[in-house]
Amino acid sequence: MLDATTKEIKERTSGGVINPAKTCQPIGAMYAALGIHGCLPHSHGSQGCCSFHRMHLTRHFRDPIMASTSSFTEGASVFGGGANLKTAIKTIFQVYNPDLIAVHTTCLTETIGDDIPNLIKTAEIPEGKKVIHTNTPSYVGSHVTGFSNMTRSMVNYFSEATTSLKKEQVNIIPGFVNPGDMREIKRIAKLMKAPFIMFPDTSGVVDSPMTGEFQMFPKGGTTQAELTDAGNSKLTIALGRFASSDAAEQLDKKCKVPTATLKTPIGIKATDDLVMALRQAFVTEVPYELEEERGQLVDIMTDTHFHFHGKKVAIFGDPDIVTGMTELVMSLGMKPVHILTGTPGGAPGSTVGSFGEDIKELVGMAGIDANIKAAGDLFTLHQWIKNEPVDLLIGNTYGKFIARAEDIPFVRVGFPVLDRSVHSYMPIVGYRGAMRLVEMISGALLDRQDRDAADEDFELVM
């Protein structure tokens, strides 16, 4: 299937990408917008873009994803899409009646240069309703950038510092993670007795229960009042620099809410960092329930370490998730030797820092000399693997082609996962999420050991 991938790596001068390891900005913006209660994401562009974005999200979450489109035709493409957007806003409020519409752009509307803020100002918006926007040109960045941009727009449009003293509450920006992860982060914050506002929060929206009745706007999502009140919090915890730090910095600039930027809490250390940040901010004790979970995780890691020790791993996906997974597999004694994201990797000193430098430092601590690349593609990853084979591949569904071609055990983590279900309900963050990851990784390795074992080596107890 990937027979054309050559072992010999030649520098590509065309700038072309073969099998991308990312998808387009509006998908992230659409997902973030779904994390506001009563919000209808709106794609300002042609129907094809919107259909693709909705389809991708629907396939990952296995829940119908609601979004509208400006439905560009040739005329709008030439003369601009102002009329389409204004008509769309009027019709959407008449027909679907959301609390607010969150507009994001597409490649076409960005190329035309439609002035979205001014178009929104002159649109017919019913009393008490709201329209927000963000720019998501998909020829730069990735879906993670789109998520980050829409989350920053939530701050721009809503957050206000309205109290003279900051409130005893923390904002938690969870990053581009599944609703199961958001629920787990909220559970940890509740156990730490930390009053919090999470935004965006897609739990209860893209994982809503089957009730027998269609709900256009499910119960979940951050309310507009909470987004406004985020400006009064005494701290923002941004989880994952690439998806969350931009909004947190904007909140600091606009409302003087200081920021603690942490890694996505994947694995024991990153979860410890989240727990300790909450403990420090609210001077609370870590409850026994969390201590017990941590202890169980350490016990599991100790019991199973011999399955993992020295195994070589390739990891790809979104930068915040890849960073967390790299740290987790290293804590299990594995060797991440190929590490790649499709998202541009930032630069030292920038808001998001440098993916390459961070990973280099992380693996350098264990003396591992890894291939590391940002804005890379799966062709490169495959070539690396051909040159230095691995025992395990970790990444989103698109990795299955490499796993099949090279006959490597494969663990699906990240976005999108299109060929398995239930994953979006189950966390990979926190101590419990780490337990699940250990189970997934050891299951994949031991299944392979069983498959390849000769009859005389086929073990009952492993």
Binding characters for ligand SF4, 51-90, by CB under 6 A (x = yes): -x--------------------------------------
Residue with Cβ nearer ligand SF4 (147 or 217): 147
Residue with Cβ nearer ligand SF4 (72 or 431): 72
Residue with Cβ nearer ligand SF4 (20 or 287): 20
Residue with Cβ nearer ligand SF4 (267 or 344): 344
Q: How many residues does the chain have?
A: 462
d(CA 23, CA 342): 8
Q: How far is the CB of 49 from ligand SF4 (least distance, A)?
A: 3
d(CA 403, CA 330): 21
Q: Using CB under 6 A, which residues numbered 418 to 457 contact ligand SF4? A: none
Whether residue 287 has a cis bond before it, omega within 30° of 0:
no
Residue with Cβ nearer ligand SF4 (24 or 266): 24
Q: Which of 21, 22, 24, 352 binds ligand SF4 (CB under 6 A)?
A: 24
CA angle 142, 148, 151 (to 5 degrees): 145
Q: How far is the CB of 70 from ligand SF4 (least distance, A)?
A: 12
Residue with Cβ nearer ligand SF4 (107 or 446): 107
User: Rounded to 10 degrees, what is the CA torsion of 114, 17, 347, 253?
Assistant: 30
The pair of three-digit structure tokens given for residue 262, joined into one six-digit string:
């942490």
Q: Please provide the distance, in angstroms rounded to a whole number, between the alpha carbons at the two ends of the chain.
A: 33
Beta-ladder partners of 236: 171, 259
Q: How far is the CB of 109 from ligand SF4 (least distance, A)?
A: 9
Residue with Cβ nearer ligand SF4 (26 or 174): 26
Q: How far is the CB of 158 from ligand SF4 (least distance, A)?
A: 25
Structural contact between residues 259 and 246, judged by C-beta atoms closer than 8 angstroms = no
3 state SS of 233: strand
d(CA 363, CA 70): 46
User: Rounded to 10 degrees, what is the CA torsion of 39, 217, 179, 391?
Assistant: -90
- How is 120-134 classified by DSSP, letter by letter? HHTS---TT-EEEEE
Residue with Cβ nearer ligand SF4 (2 or 107): 107
Q: How far is the CB of 43 from ligand SF4 (least distance, A)?
A: 8
DSSP 78: H
Q: How far is the CB of 123 from ligand SF4 (least distance, A)?
A: 22
Q: How far is the CB of 88 from ligand SF4 (least distance, A)?
A: 17
The pair of three-digit structure tokens given for residue 216, joined into one six-digit string:
């256009």
DSSP 138: T
Q: Using CB under 6 A, which residues numbered 25 to 54 contact ligand SF4? A: 26, 49, 52
Q: Using CB under 6 A, which residues numbered 106 to 145 contact ligand SF4? A: 106-107, 138
Q: How far is the CB of 139 from ligand SF4 (least distance, A)?
A: 7
Residue with Cβ nearer ligand SF4 (5 or 136): 136
Structural contact between residues 224 and 231, judged by C-beta atoms closer than 8 angstroms = no
Contacts of 292 (CB under 8 A, 6+ apart): none
Q: How far is the CB of 36 from ligand SF4 (least distance, A)?
A: 21
Beta-ladder partners of 222: 36
Binding characters for ligand SF4, 163-182, by CB under 6 A (x = yes): --------------------
Footprint of ligand SF4 on this chain (CB under 6 A)? 24, 26, 49, 52, 106-107, 138
